[in-house]
Amino acid sequence: MGRIQDKVAVVLGVTPGNMGQAIARRFVAEGAKVMIAGRRQEALEEAANEIGVAWAVCDITRQDDIEQLIQTALDRFGRIDVGVNATGWGLLKPFTATTREELEQMAAIQFIGPFQFLQAMVKAMVHGGSIIEISSVTATIMMDNHAAYMGTKAGMDHVIRCVAHEFGAQGIRANSISPGGTADTPMSHGGLNFEPIANLYKREIPLQRPGIAEDIANAALWLASDESSFVTGQNLQVNGGQTLRRNPSIQEIYAAMGGVPATV
């Protein structure tokens, strides 16, 4: 028997090779019935075929899509036990250069949409369940030119605590996971496999390596399972201890790439 045998999980924010797919794959390996979702049908079908799960198109910025996703999962499986939001937009933009349009897009992807996803999950989990939000180490420690991303992730961490507080009596647990940079996912653009950049991060990570998607999938599995049945309202820092230190500065990153000299 798997650790989440026969539990029904919805994982939103899946594309081939990303963190969402790693989580879905891990859930399937441990016996769950999984439906994955994302906004790009072709990529979603590819990911679903690779791990053998159901899928549904869902753009997190569209409330109708979210509600249809939840209904589709309920119609197919009869219930939802685990809901994971792994969506995000890794905008890197200087603070004073970030436009209103970009702020509105970031809010739609990383705050309003996730908020509405949690609302739909709370309504669907009439017999309780586990809600998992993928956050970021940068919701706690600083990173240059990343304020819109960081602020919305930090905001959702607190919304997760609100859900845990208000719906614990309904048997709903809500937690978030904060990865650091993950070397094998699209958002890192392969930068953490470039030795000069990897060395910068090793200096700031006590466990001496960048994360990989499997690290986050393992944490999500634990939160989805009954092993964490008394854990709610928490933010798990799954980043090798990086919150004990810092992110490299933008000057250090440029210098490592052979550009602007570091001034620290």
Mean pLDDT along residues 17-42: 97
Would 224 be classed as within a structural domain? yes
Would 200 be classed as within a structural domain? no
Would 67 be classed as within a structural domain? yes
Read off φ and ψ for residue 36, nearest 5 degrees.
-105, 160
Predicted pLDDT of residue 186: 85
| Structure tokens belonging to residue 114 | 């996730």
- 149 is an active site residue: yes
What angle (nearest 5°) sits at the alpha carbon of residue 136, between those of residues 131 and 141? 135
Would 238 be classed as within a structural domain? yes
Number of domains the chain contains = 1
Residue 264 has pLDDT above 60, yes or no: no
Q: Which member of 77, 149, 167, 201 is catalytic? A: 149
- Model confidence pLDDT, tens digit, residues 68-78: 999 999 999 99
What's this model's pTM, rounded to 2 decimal places?
0.95
Predicted pLDDT of residue 261: 53
Mean pLDDT along residues 91-111: 98
What angle (nearest 5°) sits at the alpha carbon of residue 88, between those of residues 198 and 7? 105
- Model confidence pLDDT, tens digit, residues 112-133: 999 999 999 999 999 999 999 9
- Model confidence pLDDT, tens digit, residues 240-250: 999 999 999 99
Give the CATH number, domain containing residue 93: 3.40.50.720
Provide the residue range defining the domain that includes 16.
8-194+210-244
Residue 183 has pLDDT above 60, yes or no: yes
